[in-house]
A and B are shown apart, each in its own frame.
Chain A
């Protein structure tokens, strides 16, 4: 059973649209939730969330964590073609353990 579940798995939008990507996770030994953007190579770090209800923001991207409902969302406003990528959600559990990744959301932004 998957510990980290992302939805949707793929999404096609037009430039200028706003998108919301979802990530739900298992709670046992939860430490933090991380969002990454992956284009052709290794993932690049976007956000790390540890506290509920505190929005993290970077330009047109923002993210928030709900530890009661066990999910996080990643919002992208005014999308651009350069936002096309796979967005990965990963959860860090306590201890010296690896990140557990969701399957990712493949976002395609068309002009």
Chain B
């Protein structure tokens, strides 16, 4: 149990367009999901905490109007990169938390590699 599915795995989009990334907990309910961003050769940086039924909590320096997070159900959180620009090209990973599992429920999606051209 504790599987997180993330789609798409990779996406290429034109500058100025929007991209939606989905994160689903397949076999458990996740009231909280976390979105990370990772630039090449750097570590995972937390972008925001997604809370089911309420507004996301963004980390300092992350534009909430640019990175829209919606967590409308207990199994789905989405991250939309609006008006994407080349500097938004990065690896985005979601994580959902399930209590009671071996690693305190921090299960990761497989990640989405976004390239903005």
Contact = CB atoms under 8 A, between A and B. Distances in A.
Nearest to B108: A42
A42 B111 contact: yes
Interface size band for A: 20 to 34
A99 B102 contact: no
Interface size band for B: 20 to 34
Given A41-B111, A42-B111, A101 B106 contact: no
Given A31-B104, A32-B104, A92-B104, A42 B43 contact: no
A64 B22 CA distance: 36
Q: Name the residue in B34, B45, B95, B108 with the highest tally of chain A Cβ atoms < 10 Å from its Cβ.
A: B108
A99 B106 contact: yes
Interface of B: 6, 32, 34, 36, 41-46, 49, 93, 95, 97, 102-104, 106, 108-111
15 contacts: A31-B104, A32-B103, A32-B104, A41-B111, A42-B6, A42-B93, A43-B108, A48-B103, A88-B43, A88-B44, A96-B32, A98-B34, A100-B46, A101-B43, A104-B43
